[in-house]
Amino acid sequence: MAAVAPLDPHFRPMTLADLDVVMEVESRAYTFPWSRGIFADCISAGYACWVMEVDQVIQGHGILSKGMDEIHLLNVCIRRETQGHGYGRHFVRHLIERAAGMGGQYMFLEVRPSNRVAIALYDSLGFAQVGRRKEYYPGDPEREDALVLSLRLADWR
């Protein structure tokens, strides 16, 4: 697995016009993808919704929300065909920088315990487990817990 993406990604705010591609990326990457309506609601609500492009092709998307001094990483997804090329690391770093710029003290996220690659990425960026949500994620046949991870934004850099 490569540590650095071969191309320099460009980040920009997600728009409603991006949703066809966002849904394609989301649906191919996750067994239980978000719906188009959830993405549209996040954009309409003013959440920090981002896409990552390489050569003007969307390679991933991410959503941040703010509540008080906490920033929550609600969704981050990389195109299945380019996973393992360092794009996830680039994108999560971008989202952490945006979270710090939003005035957050802490950034939180949930991750499936079975997603060892994501857990290793978050760990390498300074996230630590602070909790567990029982039966948080849909599953087949059983629901899966979520690990709750946190990063103190002042400690990150």
Cα 53 from Cα 65, distance rounded (Å): 21
> Of 26, 47, 87, 122, which one is the catalytic site residue?
122
Q: Which of 110, 136, 137, 144 is catalytic?
A: 110
- 110 as an active site residue: the answer is yes
Reported for 88-91, long-range contacts at CB under 8 A and 24+ positions apart, including other chains, are 88/60, 88/118, 88/121, 89/3, 89/5, 89/121, 89/124, 89/125, 90/5, 90/9, 90/52, 91/9, 91/11, 91/50, 91/52, 91/60, 91/62
Active site annotation includes 26: no
Q: Could you give the residue numbers annotated as active site?
A: 110, 122
